[in-house]
Amino acid sequence: MAPGSHLVFSWLVAVNVLRDRRERSIVALVGVAPDIDGMGVIIDKISGSTNYYAQYHHVVGHGIFSAILFAAIAALLAKVQKLTVFCLSFFVMHLHILCDIVGSKGPDGYQWPIYYLFPLNQAYGITWPHQWALNAWQNVLFMVLLLFVSGYYAATRKITFLEVFSERLNAEAFKMYARYFAKKHG
């Protein structure tokens, strides 16, 4: 699934459990963190001769050991609820992996197996025969659902996943909404 879906999904997992913006943001970012292993695509584009994307994407960052590592870093960065942050981070890493297994088929039909036991076992790759494509309607529908649930938190608690990027951005979104609403009904 696309990084945006992973981010919103992870943020929604954290929003009811974690009290503060800092910890919610950390867990949301951990939900996207596995895709760091796809950054090789930039080097490949620049160099033109490497193939880091194919070599490392879904290999280095999408396994049990990277889940433990990212969860530990997340707990270290958290100021409160450290154990909860560790557990939630470990959980959203696995949600990420699961989402990729079900809905991240490449446009060329390649399934991008998940190397869950990397680096201990570099041959075991997980795929699911019914996997749908990255741009399939299922993923679009899922994103719409995530935004719909986000709308609930926006309405009831005045927070959105925008808080991951900045508190101001989150506040500005509500100001803009209020201004628009005032204009329509004023």
Q: How far is the CB of 151 from Zn ion (least distance, A)?
A: 25
Instruction: State the angle between helix axes of 64-77 and 21-30 in degrees (0 to 180), rounded to the nearest 10.
Output: 160
Q: Pick between residue 10 and residue 25 the one whose CB is nearest to Zn ion.
A: 10
Both tokens of residue 170? 């989150």
Q: Pick between residue 96 and residue 159 the one whose CB is nearest to Zn ion.
A: 96
Q: How far is the CB of 35 from Zn ion (least distance, A)?
A: 5
Q: Pick between residue 59 and residue 154 the one whose CB is nearest to Zn ion.
A: 59
Q: How far is the CB of 131 from Zn ion (least distance, A)?
A: 13
Can you tell me which residue has the tokens 């396994």? 63
Q: How far is the CB of 116 from Zn ion (least distance, A)?
A: 12
Q: Pick between residue 31 and residue 150 the one whose CB is nearest to Zn ion.
A: 31
Both tokens of residue 118? 């990397």
Q: Pick between residue 10 and residue 81 the one whose CB is nearest to Zn ion.
A: 10
Q: How far is the CB of 52 from Zn ion (least distance, A)?
A: 15
Q: How far is the CB of 11 from Zn ion (least distance, A)?
A: 16
In angstroms, how far is the first alpha carbon of the chain from the final one?
41
Residue of minimal CB distance from Zn ion? 100
Distances from the Cα of 169 to the Cαs of 14, 18, 24, 30, in angstroms? 19, 20, 15, 20
Q: By the criterion CB under 5 A, which residues form the site for Zn ion?
A: 34-35, 100
Secondary structure tally for the chain: helices H, strands E: 8, 0
Taking the CA of residue 140 as centre, how many other CA atoms within 13 Å lie in the half-sphere pointing to its CB? 4
Interatomic CA distance for residues 23 and 76, integer angstroms: 11
Quote the Cα angle for 81-87-89, to 5°: 95
